[in-house]
Amino acid sequence: MTSASSIFAFIESHPPLAIERFEFEMTEFRSVRRNLGAMAMLLRQSQDEAALDLAATVRRVLSEWLTVPVSFKTFIAEQLQSAVGPPKHIRARWGAEIGDLYADAIDGAVDLAGETNPLRQRLKEEIAEAVSGGEIVRIFCHSSAASHFQSFTPPNAFIHSPAWYRRCEPFDTLFKVGPLRSRGWGSVPDALISAPRYSRLALFVWEGCADEEGFGSDPVTTLAATGIGGIRSTRVVPAPRAVRIGVDLSGVSDDAPLMDELQFFSTFEPKADARNATLVQMDSEYGILFPPYSHVLSFDPAGDAHEPLSARLVDEDLREGMFLIRHIGHDVNGPEVHAEHGEFSRIWKAKLNEEFRHDRLALCDRLRKAGIELEHLETAVRHWCRPPTTVIHAPQKRSHFETLIRQLKIETAVPRWWQRAWKEIAASRGVAIVAGVEEREHMDHLLLASLGELLPEIRQMAGTANRHFVLSLHQDCRIGGTALFDRVELIETGFKAPDSELREVRELGGLGQWRA
Amino acid sequence: MDSGVLETTERPQIAAAEPAESAPLEFREANGTWQLAPEWATFLIRFGYLWAQSAQTARRRIALISLPCDSAAAGLVTLGALKCRLEIPGANDRSAHFERIRSLAGSVGQTIDLYDQRLRGRKRGPYRLTGHFSSEMPWAKLVNGPDEDKVTISAETARFWQFALEPPVEILQGNRIPFGTFYAALPTPRSGLTITQNLAYSDSAICLAGCPAGDASTRRVMSELSFRLLTGEIACLADLLTIHGWQRQNVSRVAFLNVRNGTLDRSCSKPQIVIAYGEISFLDATNRFPFSDVVGVIDLSADRERLEAVSAAIASMAQWFSGDEHLAASMPVPPKGIAVALMKTQE
């Protein structure tokens, strides 16, 4: 824990924060942005659920490109198509106007292939210069964006969440891609400006991407802005020094102002039943969204932990490095389920692996014809073949899973086999058995009491486990079943999601759509 | 006790905000090294002292202190206010305690237990208040004892009676809080006043509203900050605050609100000053204690939703409050990284 004295000593001994804002222009990228932005705007005008979902997908792709140093040498056109779909499908489904915009965006993205992203290039140079000058540098980005920085960033330089920033020792330079916004993709805490722990902020933004108005506010200075007296403060918010960097690949002038997409996307209304949520990320692939003030069972492996096993408030007490505990018990209507090597998953995964190895193309073709219309079906099937980790990897939709099992032609005498196998998957994802609050609290109480008796064993397993371990609750325990322990990698606020998305293990890629 | 707001005691004039003479008091945070109290800590202690010293009963005041990180800052402000109260003659719960006993004795159906600190064994209690022998003498009857097992409580003997789960109003047999030298050494403006008399009495005029994570978390943060006298004696901030639940055996000069479960460690619905640790506690305290002065100590690295909630609450208060420029001028200049807003209800 960073001491208050060290932070105050840093503030006292350093000059006021300096902000450098590198702003980039690139005609081809501007064209891609303009087309995708217009497409999202048109789709948002529809009340159709599918149109809104597609707008959300465009938002996700474009937001990512604007807030990470994406390499144009990788094929961003392919990335766009894999997320949104083939141009002919889009034209057929959404008409000529949207189809044309999308086709132009794809063309622009194809033109960018192989070009150097000037933002990425300058960021690399600035980081290299700072590091060679002996500076301690940090990069603020979401964990899912880290891969875009890793090739040119010192290890352990990342800050992924406000909580992470709070724990930081003072350092020299902070690098950030994308404007200063408190919500949405590339969001950062106001404390970067109101409570800086560094001397210099280097911002790398594309043209037209403005910082959020009022970003970095302090309730005290906000009050001062209303004209009320009685304020004592020596805080000064510096004006950024802007550096404009333009690259025109085509030579075609395009002076029309660009829409600020991130500002536009911030106006996307969350779904009607959406509510605030906090993401607890368990590994590089999965996480769970919890509503505010949720109590979660957790284990603190720290030797001096006051209560190693406890129901902790997600937003207050749970910390990165602790283990989230999920209980998989007996289902009165089905089999006992285990997330690791479950009775059913062993069988269908073995069969799936066998068929995938034998002829993956034929298998994918069969599945597609049977109704599993996923853009990257082969990748998805490869993913489903993997042994269980945090969850049993399987199709997200029940109907897809039913189709998969039917196509695998698993012979078994067990009635309602695929339904039971689906229950096993659902349980591993934490799909709650319908129970009242009181009953759940009672179950949690029993589980904590049972785990308390197994504390030495849990400590030992946590000491050797990297991220995940499973504890079977034996017959002497007050509650049966299995306890799954997943190390908390990251806790992140700033999501708004419908109830159906809460408290269940989900893939991180899909959770990105719920960033508020 | 309820008299915290209305108690009229002699108040010294607001001292000028010049620094105290170099305080022979060292300071250390968790795993840190001993050093003279740094400027940020000194400022907060002095702020608490001056805030308590300038308390008025006529106009409610709200203060907001923003800091760049989470810290024991609320505890330091509380410590400064505690010292100020120690210097005010008669600033304790003694008279309010008897008033509360008299009031409860007249209430039908109350089930609050009392203990007679002078006694041991079964006779110690619990007792229940069962009416009045005279207007100045309530009856206390031994629970589960025969009807004749009841005694009267007078203004003089009330100090021997302790409410269950609450701190004693007075330490008997001449004992007192053992931190007088620490309080005397705190870097507050010189007042020339003595603090020893009040060290034997509880006081409920100051309330610390803990962090939202609850009692244990608040105590842990306060325990990580320590002071050392030149004599080598060491006391942590948690001890110096004398919160009842953290030390049990002694009188307590600071009431504690556990924001997590909404419980107060004693009956004091109107503390004079509430110091709130964090944004949620500040919002809770301003609503829960509508007649108390509230100091909110907030961390600017907290989540935006919380800071926005504070901004919204302050903005809505602004229609009833105006900036307290006079008090602001008498306060020391905050060190870099700290900002302070002072407001009082409009006349």
Phi, psi of A298 (to 5 degrees): -150, 160
Window from A128-137, B12-21, B92-101, B107-116 with minimum mean pLDDT: B12-21
Q: Closest Cα partner for A24 from A141, A101, A110, A123?
A: A123
Tens of pLDDT, residues A28-43: 899 899 999 999 999 9
Q: pLDDT band for position A436 (50/70/90)?
A: low
Q: What mean pLDDT is predicted for residues B9-38?
A: 66
Closest CB from B217, B331, B343 relative to A232: B331
Tokens 């800050």 sit on residue: A159
A220 touches chain B (CB under 8 A): yes
User: Residue B250 gets which letter from DSSP?
Assistant: S
Tens of pLDDT, residues A386-417: 877 767 888 888 888 888 988 888 877 777 88
Q: Quote the CA–CA distance of A404 and A384 in Å, as a whole number.
A: 10
Q: Quote the CA–CA distance of A232 and B201 in Å, as a whole number.
A: 35
Q: What mean pLDDT is predicted for residues B101-106?
A: 79
Tens of pLDDT, residues A54-95: 888 898 889 999 999 998 877 788 888 888 888 888 888 888
Predicted local confidence at residue A271, as pLDDT: 64
Window from A268-272, B18-22, B125-129 with minimum mean pLDDT: B18-22
Looking at every residue in chain B, the average pLDDT score rounds to 84
Predicted local confidence at residue B99, as pLDDT: 82
Window from A144-148, A398-402, B201-205, B266-270 with minimum mean pLDDT: B266-270
Closest CB from A5, A230, A493 relative to B324: A230
CB B35 within 8 A of CB B23: no
Collapsed DSSP state (helix, strand, coil) of residue B112: coil
CB A185 within 8 A of CB A262: yes
Name every residue whose Cβ is closer than 8 Å to that of residue A241 and which is 6 or more positions away in sequence.
A18, A19, A20, A21
Query: Is residue A140's pLDDT more than 90?
Result: yes
Tens of pLDDT, residues B160-183: 888 888 888 888 776 788 898 999
Predicted local confidence at residue B32, as pLDDT: 86
Phi, psi of A430 (to 5 degrees): 85, 15
Task: List the single best residue of A1, A2, A7, A8 to mutate versus B (max B Cβ within 10 A).
Answer: A8
Tens of pLDDT, residues B255-269: 999 998 888 988 876
Query: Is residue B300's pLDDT more than 70?
Result: yes
> CB neighbours (10 Å) of residue B17?
16
- Residues A220, B340: C-beta atoms closer than 8 Å: yes
Tens of pLDDT, residues A315-362: 778 888 899 998 876 543 444 444 444 678 888 888 898 888 888 888
Considering A131-135, A249-253, A289-293, A323-327, the range whose residues carry the highest mean pLDDT is A131-135
Predicted local confidence at residue B3, as pLDDT: 34
Tens of pLDDT, residues A170-192: 999 999 999 999 888 888 999 99
Query: Is residue B37's pLDDT more than 60?
Result: yes
Predicted local confidence at residue B65, as pLDDT: 96
CB A20 within 8 A of CB A241: yes
Helices within chain B (DSSP H only): 3-6, 39-53, 73-86, 94-105, 180-185, 215-223, 237-240, 244-247, 279-288, 304-317, 325-330
Task: Taking each helix axis as running N to C, give the angle between helix B39-53 and helix B73-86, from 0 to 180 degrees, rounded to the nearest 10.
Answer: 40
User: Residue A226 gets which letter from DSSP?
Assistant: T
Query: Is residue A119's pLDDT more than 90?
Result: yes
Predicted local confidence at residue A361, as pLDDT: 85
Q: Quote the CA–CA distance of A17 and A238 in Å, as a whole number.
A: 7
- Residues B300, A197: C-beta atoms closer than 8 Å: no
Predicted local confidence at residue A113, as pLDDT: 87
Predicted local confidence at residue A177, as pLDDT: 96
Q: Quote the CA–CA distance of B22 and B45 in Å, as a whole number.
A: 14
CB A293 within 8 A of CB B280: no
Phi, psi of A212 (to 5 degrees): -65, 135
| Edge-to-edge order in the sheet of strand A137-140 | A158-159, A137-140, A173-177, A200-206, A18-26, A241-247
Query: Is residue A166's pLDDT more than 70?
Result: yes
Q: Quote the CA–CA distance of B335 and A33 in Å, as a whole number.
A: 46
Give the chain A residue nearest B332 (alpha carbons). Answer: A232
Window from A104-108, A286-290, A396-400 with minimum mean pLDDT: A396-400
Largest CA distance in chain A: 80
Q: What mean pLDDT is predicted for residues A256-280?
A: 79
Name every residue whose Cβ is closer than 8 Å to that of residue B209 and which is 6 or more positions away in sequence.
B74, B257, B259, B274, B275, B276, B277, B281, B282, B284, B285
Q: Closest Cα partner for A404 from A382, A379, A356, A372?
A: A372
Query: Is residue B13's pLDDT more than 50?
Result: no
Window from A429-443, B76-90, B209-223 with minimum mean pLDDT: A429-443
Q: How many CA atoms lie within 13 A of A454 on its CB side?
A: 23
Closest CB from B213, B328, B331 relative to A317: B213
Chain B partners of A196 at a C-beta cutoff of 8 Å? 68
Q: Quote the CA–CA distance of A183 and A366 in Å, as a whole number.
A: 43
Q: Quote the CA–CA distance of B246 and B248 in Å, as a whole number.
A: 6
- Residues B66, A222: C-beta atoms closer than 8 Å: no
Tens of pLDDT, residues B104-150: 877 777 778 888 888 887 777 788 887 777 777 788 888 877 777 78
A13 touches chain B (CB under 8 A): no
B90 dihedral zone (left: phi>0; alpha: psi -120 to 50; beta): left
For A:228-287, CB contacts with B below 8 A are 228-235, 276
A162 touches chain B (CB under 8 A): yes
Query: Is residue B8's pLDDT more than 60?
Result: no
- Residues A316, B213: C-beta atoms closer than 8 Å: yes
Largest CA distance in chain B: 66
**Structure tokens that stand for A448 in this block:** 């904590």
Looking at every residue in chain A, the average pLDDT score rounds to 83
Window from A433-447, B138-152, B292-306 with minimum mean pLDDT: A433-447
CB A300 within 8 A of CB A320: no
Q: What mean pLDDT is predicted for residues A264-284?
A: 79
Window from A8-22, A238-252, A393-407, A483-497 with minimum mean pLDDT: A238-252
Spell A338-364 as b/e; 16+ CB within 10 A means b.
Answer: bbbebebbebbbebbbebbeeeeeebb
Query: Is residue A249's pLDDT more than 50?
Result: no
pTM of the model: 0.78
Query: Is residue A208's pLDDT more than 80?
Result: yes
Q: What mean pLDDT is predicted for residues A210-239?
A: 82
**Structure tokens that stand for B210 in this block:** 């803990």
Query: Is residue B192's pLDDT more than 50?
Result: yes
